[in-house]
Amino acid sequence: MPLFLVSHPTCFKEENLKRAQSHPKDEFGVDHENMFYNEKENRLFCLMRAPDRDALTKHYAKAGLTYDWMVEVKTTK
């Protein structure tokens, strides 16, 4: 399944991010792979597995979140 890196302002505390990390795939097939954040910079980067960009956009819309950018990525692992 494709992997996406998404950037947006963070509006969550660390404990909320950890809970979101452990959620199962949603109805759009989206799964949280990992999250990187910096509270001081108000920045969150989400590494997400999703069938496609549309599914990921629906995932964020349902949560009431916006994002600055989304890019499909690959890893070296």
Domain boundaries, the chain: 3-73
pLDDT digits (tens, 9 = 90+) for 27-71: 999 999 999 999 889 899 999 999 999 999 999 999 888 999 999
pLDDT of residue 73: 98
Q: Is the model more confident about 65 or about 2?
A: 2
Could you say which architecture CATH assigns to the domain 3-73?
Answer: 2-Layer Sandwich (3.30)
Confidence of residue 16 (pLDDT cuts 50, 70, 90): confident
3-state percent breakdown (helix, strand, coil) of the chain, nearest 5: 25, 35, 45
